[in-house]
Amino acid sequence: MGKRTDFLYMSEQDMIDAGVNDAAKCVDVCEEVFKLLATGDYLMGGSNHNSHGLALVFPETTPFPNMPVAGPDRRFVAMPAYLGGRFDICGNKWYGSNAANREHGLPRSVLTLVLNDKETGEPLAFQSANLLSSARTGCIPGVACRYLARKNSKVLAVVGCGAVNHACVAGIMSQVPTIEKIVCYNLTFAHGQQFADWAAETFGVEAVCVKTCEEALAEADLVSVAASRKAPLVIEDEWVKPGTLMMLSGPMTAPDSLWENTTMVWDNTKLHEAYVADARASEDYHKGYAAQIGGPVYELIDQGKKEPLSEATDLGHIILGEKQGRTSDDERIIFIASGMAVFDLGWGYTLYQNALEKGIGQKLTLWDSPAQAE
């Protein structure tokens, strides 16, 4: 007789009941993950252990009638990882994305996370991961604010008013109680206005929507950028005032002078080194660079105009006190966060533990006894 394997199934409602939207707690967990990244107690995919994930992308055309073809935001991505410390867990976030999902009453991406026993590979939990992924994406800027925001920051600018920035604002607002005003800018004004209404009601602060990005940044102490690539987002150097902390969860285009005259802090320089290596292995590395949030900086590093990634600053090293964070009230800082599966694992494991404690979720059986245990 072999060993019985059960795992916990957690629906989206189970994730909510387990606390997935508790931004302050999620920021704490993300901070722990940043420390593990800095000490190196983690693994991600690929031979360099720092790959963001493996994407399944579709051809422009195909002779096979059922094979998917390329479309806006259409892909599947697997993001495996091991996270050490008290988590000590393996897992994989797996998602399918298709802009056309909206027409079917679905979010653009449908995400799940599997947590596995690191020794045996048995599944421990299968979780609905849309809210999980949004929460960790939003709480990463929350951690950045703890260490990089100017004291007494009062105005938060939101550039790109979609799902990710909803989560980012929740993460940031859980950490910066001095914020009095949120200024929103979005490609479509109506969405920006809806976002501002939501922010005013949720956080009890003044929230407005403005017609230009320049207006949004005019008074901002903090800027959260998470625009999709529907239209290029251009941010001019002179729009960013001294002392601003810009947190990029999505891409932006800016003149070289903005990147050159701003301190860079990265989520994990090793991840960005892996992005650069991947791009360099392709035919046109500029195209590979352009696909990444940090792409414009990779170009400047190659030109010797920015410090190489091997010498650049990670947030985790600032948290550990090994590197300096903000050095003055006038310093402009750009924090780049590209998203990593280790954060999904950290928050997913925490919610799994909560669920076990509170009896949330449904126990499912993989097998009573494995047929191939011999």
Ligand X SMILES: NC(=O)c1ccc[n+]([C@@H]2O[C@H](COP(=O)([O-])OP(=O)(O)OC[C@H]3O[C@@H](n4cnc5c(N)ncnc54)[C@H](O)[C@@H]3O)[C@@H](O)[C@H]2O)c1
Which residue ranges make up the site for ligand X (CB under 6 A)? 137, 159-165, 185-188, 191, 226-228, 230-233, 249-251, 337-339
CB under 8 Å to 176, separation ≥6 — which residues?
145, 149, 153, 156, 222
The angle at the Cα of 225, spanning 136 to 101, to the nearest 5 degrees, equals 65
Let me know the angle formed at the C-alpha of 19 by 14 and 23, rounded to the nearest 5 degrees: 140
Pairing of strands 206-209, 123-128: unpaired
Q: Distance between CA 165 and CA 235 in Å, rounded?
A: 17
The rounded distance, in Å, linking the Cα atoms of 114 and 42 is: 17
**Checking DSSP bridges between strand 123-128 and strand 5-10, what pairing results, if any?**
parallel
Closer of 116 and 137 to ligand X (Cβ)? 137
Closest CB to ligand X among residues 124, 164: 164
**Which of 363, 349, 367 shows the shortest CA–CA distance to 113?**
349
| 136/91 Cα distance (integer angstroms) | 15
Tell me the three state secondary structure of residue 366: strand
- CB nearer to ligand X: pick between 8 and 158: 158
Distance CA 37, CA 350 (A): 17
- Smallest gap from Cβ 159 to ligand X, in A, equals 6
Least distance in angstroms from the C-beta of 231 to ligand X: 4
CB 335: neighbour CB atoms within 10 A?
25
Of residues 243 and 251, the one with the C-beta less far from ligand X:
251
| Residue sitting closest to ligand X (CB) | 162
Identity of the residue, 135 or 161, whose beta carbon is nearer to ligand X in the bound complex: 161
Distance CA 161, CA 225 (A): 9
Nearer residue to ligand X within complex by CB, 124 or 254: 254
Question: Which is closer to ligand X, CB of 123 or CB of 171?
Answer: 171
Name the minimum Å distance from CB 95 to ligand X: 10
Q: Please, which residues have CB within 8 angstroms of residue 281's CB and are 6 or more apart in sequence? A: none
Can you read off the two tokens belonging to residue 122? 């048995």
Q: Residue 367 phi/psi, 5° resolution?
A: -160, 150
Q: Give min distance, CB of 38 to ligand X, in A.
A: 18
Return the number of the residue (38 or 248) whose C-beta is nearest ligand X.
Answer: 248
What minimum distance in Å lies between the beta carbon of 321 and ligand X? 25
Shortest distance (Å) from residue 2 CB to ligand X: 39
Shortest distance in whole angstroms from residue 296 CB to ligand X: 14
What is the nearest approach in angstroms of ligand X to the Cβ of residue 170? 13
CB of 79 to ligand X, least distance (A): 10
With respect to ligand X, which residue has the nearer C-beta, 243 or 294?
294
DSSP one-letter string for 74-136: -EEEEEEEEE-TTT-EEEEEEEEE-GGGGGGT--SEEEEEEEE-TTT--EEEEEE-HHHHHHH
